Structure 1
């Protein structure tokens, strides 16, 4: 590291302090501290640069001692404190005032998660109330905590909020969102409220896991552009859109699990479309349907009528359940339905791109594809993404390709079969929360 003149000075140390400080911010905390002990000119840098502390950068056996010491010793401010294995007992023991330290050091990004295993007892971990008064926070991720009842919430700079497995009441959740006046992105996963009402004047993107929710309402979100629904419920959940005038991306709506309500109208399989039952702003729509269940097929048509201006449509073909479909009408009945159905506005006049995910090549799936081929006047692209179950069957893949060759489209296109594994849930959620990605449902 010494230069050619033999001065003994580190070439890195000869760089301007501002540049050195920038370099240090990209080092794991252990490497930054090590650099400070090795190079004399770097000793002041570790204490002067904004702290980025990630527990994953510290050997697990050393975390109980190292994390409280780093939090206490660094004069801060804290750019990011990311604890995916938040060891509450050691923090409380070694640094009882750690929540106040995070506030005083002007923490900007905070992740407090608990590495919980199914076979462990379910501990009641109360979130320190000071965290909710950290007015410097811009990003906050909480995983597996109980919300402190009656806590004052002051989060004037918070732009991104993710809550996973949080014990919180409906009213506390509403108050938390209301106390975050510049909140842009919200993720709710496996939290306790059965009824969720979304009301925010700043929110642009919401990712909501509905597995524990019985009723979800978009009450008043004038800037909301994207609503991504995941973790479908085991039963039926009421899903209502009251006021979301700029909603552009919506999915996955489930024909089996979601009881859709637009304004004051509940959408049924025979609902007649009118001005009060449509959402004209949605351009990218994703739906889940079991093509083997005739009731879901009829509901698919009703859902599509509610979004007349969709130009990109994703359909996820849900797994067939023999116990449900045993008494369903035959494939001929489904074919007759698609032949006799009245025109669907978005399919006839707007949809330019369509993707059918988890395509298995079943008869009822093909009846829908034939309907699309006959009626989608503006279609420019039809992609069928195969289900993982047929990846190992070359015969099945060839059979699907052969049948696709007989389809005739009104535009000069052909259906394309895409054979590839499905992306994991983590990657899909990461894409969904990134507003620079235009279509979060794209393969």
Structure 2
């Protein structure tokens, strides 16, 4: 496969709604222009850039386990005209360079209206919480570009660096994140290893998300850590209470274990292509309603497990 092959197929398929791409070993530049595409999913694909130039009906853009052929180089993801884009994942700070309307999103950048994708309400990110320069600094920058996110799905990637400077104060100093403050209703956090930097991020969300209904923390398989599920759950139950304690009575908090492989995905091509499913990335199915008191449960009262 070479540059232009996929672009040509799309341009010659005026009724194509779902495009799934997997398994090329040669890096390509993908450029998408389509008035019919509603869902694009790219998995285990060697790629140098994805440029969604004009896709007025596109609702989902999902990138999973993509690789750049140039070693440590980042994959450029450029978002153009996508007025109906609702689901976007899996953004990986340090792996992807995000460009919105000709502006490259960088750490500390002042976000303007032209740099925001206001239609996205489901966002998924993979984060190595122990890496500061190319990862943690970018998380707030990415979040500020999606001000209407209601469901945020975080997967904590394995990181060998020691937890250190990323405490609650770090997150409080990143400035206003509109989606977290005013829109976020659901947060899921997968592959939790009870690192201090992971816990600080969760504390920040619980403290600042004013309309949060549900928080789900899924522990990493205990085979891949020295801690048991109960020991990891203990860190959640006994986290330092945030200044705003209102969340304790308004947020349904669920902690759960897993016996799956390290880094295993809940998303599949089939789930992603099911356009009747509003959130194909969530590890559990949420029923948004008035939440009761927050409790740690191993069986969710506020959610149904997906198969």
Specify the TM-score bucket, using the shorter chain as the normaliser: 0.7 to 0.9
Task: Output one character per residue of 1:213-259: Cα deviation in whole Å (capped at 9) or x when no partner.
Answer: 11111111000001111123253100100111100000001111000
- Which structure has the highest helix share of the two? 1
- The answer as to 2:246 corresponding to 1:410 is yes
Structure 2 match to 1:362: 195
Structure 1 match to 2:100: 262
- Following the alignment from structure 2 to structure 1, what is the Cα–Cα distance between the partners of residues 259 and 228? 16
Q: 1:200 aligns with which of 27, 34, 42?
A: 34
- The answer as to 2:281 corresponding to 1:441 is yes
Runs of 4+ in 1 over 6 A off after TM superposition: none
3-state SS of 1:415 partner:
strand
- Following the alignment from structure 1 to structure 2, what is the Cα–Cα distance between the partners of residues 436 and 348? 28
Instruction: Name the structure, 1 or 2, with higher relative contact order (CA <8 Å, separation 6+).
Output: 2
3-state SS of 2:190 partner:
strand
Shift of 1:429: 2.1
Structure 1 match to 2:302: none
Q: 1:276 aligns with which of 105, 114, 117?
A: 114
Structure 2 match to 1:171: 4
- Following the alignment from structure 2 to structure 1, what is the Cα–Cα distance between the partners of residues 56 and 195? 41
Provide closer, same or farther for how the CA distance between residues 390 and 369 of structure 1 changes in structure 2, counting only shifts above 3 A: farther
- The answer as to 2:230 corresponding to 1:398 is yes
Provide closer, same or farther for how the CA distance between residues 420 and 426 of structure 1 changes in structure 2, counting only shifts above 3 A: closer
Structure 1 match to 2:292: none
Provide closer, same or farther for how the CA distance between residues 351 and 333 of structure 1 changes in structure 2, counting only shifts above 3 A: closer
Structure 2 match to 1:250: 88
TM-score (norm 2): 0.81
CA radius of gyration, larger in: 1
- The answer as to 2:294 corresponding to 1:294 is no
Structure 1 match to 2:296: none
- Following the alignment from structure 1 to structure 2, what is the Cα–Cα distance between the partners of residues 282 and 426? 20
- Following the alignment from structure 2 to structure 1, what is the Cα–Cα distance between the partners of residues 28 and 254? 41
- Following the alignment from structure 1 to structure 2, what is the Cα–Cα distance between the partners of residues 279 and 253? 14
Provide closer, same or farther for how the CA distance between residues 441 and 213 of structure 1 changes in structure 2, counting only shifts above 3 A: same
- The answer as to 2:157 corresponding to 1:310 is no
Contact persistence 2:87–2:123 (CA under 8 A)? yes
TM-score (norm 1): 0.57
Shift of 1:391: 7.9
- The answer as to 2:170 corresponding to 1:337 is yes
Shift of 1:335: 3.5
Q: 5+ unaligned residues in a row in structure 2: which ranges? A: 284-307
Task: Output one character per residue of 1:79-127: Cα deviation in whole Å (capped at 9) or x when no partner.
Answer: xxxxxxxxxxxxxxxxxxxxxxxxxxxxxxxxxxxxxxxxxxxxxxxxx
Shift of 1:333: 4.6
Contact persistence 2:219–2:232 (CA under 8 A)? no
- Kindly report the root-mean-square deviation, in angstroms, between the aligned alpha carbons of the 2 structures: 2.2
- Which structure has the highest strand share of the two? 2
Contact persistence 1:391–1:420 (CA under 8 A)? no
- Following the alignment from structure 1 to structure 2, what is the Cα–Cα distance between the partners of residues 333 and 425? 26
Shift of 1:187: 0.8
Contact persistence 1:203–1:223 (CA under 8 A)? yes
Shift of 1:264: 0.9
Contact persistence 2:188–2:215 (CA under 8 A)? yes
Q: 2:215 aligns with which of 382, 389, 394?
A: 382
Shift of 1:193: 4.9
Aligned length: 269
Task: Output one character per residue of 1:184-231: Cα deviation in whole Å (capped at 9) or x when no partner.
Answer: 100111234510001111000110136411111111100000111112
- Following the alignment from structure 1 to structure 2, what is the Cα–Cα distance between the partners of residues 427 and 259? 22
Structure 1 match to 2:289: none
Shift of 1:388: 1.7
- Following the alignment from structure 2 to structure 1, what is the Cα–Cα distance between the partners of residues 175 and 100? 21
